[in-house]
Amino acid sequence: MDWKLELLAIPVTDVDRAKAFYVEQAGFIDDHDHVVSDEIRFVQLTPPGSACSIALGLGVSDAEPGSARAQLVVSDIDAARAELLARGVDAGEVQQFPWGRFVFFEDPDGNRWSVQELAQRS
């Protein structure tokens, strides 16, 4: 049986601001934005090439905005950092750890993202 992770809720204070950040700056794909009611709005965004999406919105998460921690994986961390910087994301310097090379950034609410270079998956 396959177990596929396909959606992570990211708690935010301002849905439109967060959506603009993820689409315009982080380069995520805008899958859909659906208002169900005055209390529920569901925005689904997907990083390019990913099978897993994120959900933003009203009524999507009870977690505190800024409390999410998520990780992206890329094959070239230097190119990924350059792309983030070119899009206006305040991405940190590439950091080397025994388990890989990483870049870190935050969304406008302080949700933290790590980007790991993983050239080949086993």
Q: Across residues 9-35, what is the average pLDDT?
A: 97
Architecture per CATH, domain 7-117, reads as: Roll (3.10)
Q: Which residues contact 19 (CB under 8 A, 6 or more apart)?
A: 30, 33, 43, 45, 56
**Tokens linked to 27:** 């380069």
Contact 80, 74 (CB under 8 A): yes
Q: DSSP assignment of 19-66, as one string?
A: HHIIIIIS--EEEEEEE-SSS-EEEEEE-TT-S-EEEEEESS--SPTT
% of the chain with per-residue pLDDT over 90: 93
Domain ranges in the chain are: 7-117
C-alpha span between 83 and 91 (Å, rounded): 10
pLDDT band at 1 (very low <50, low <70, confident <90, very high): confident
C-alpha span between 100 and 117 (Å, rounded): 6
Claim: this prediction has a pTM higher than 0.85: yes
pLDDT tens readout for residues 77-117:
999 999 999 999 999 999 999 989 999 999 999 999 999 99
pLDDT higher than threshold 60 for residue 31: yes
CA neighbor of 105 nearest in space, from 91, 93, 94, 95: 91
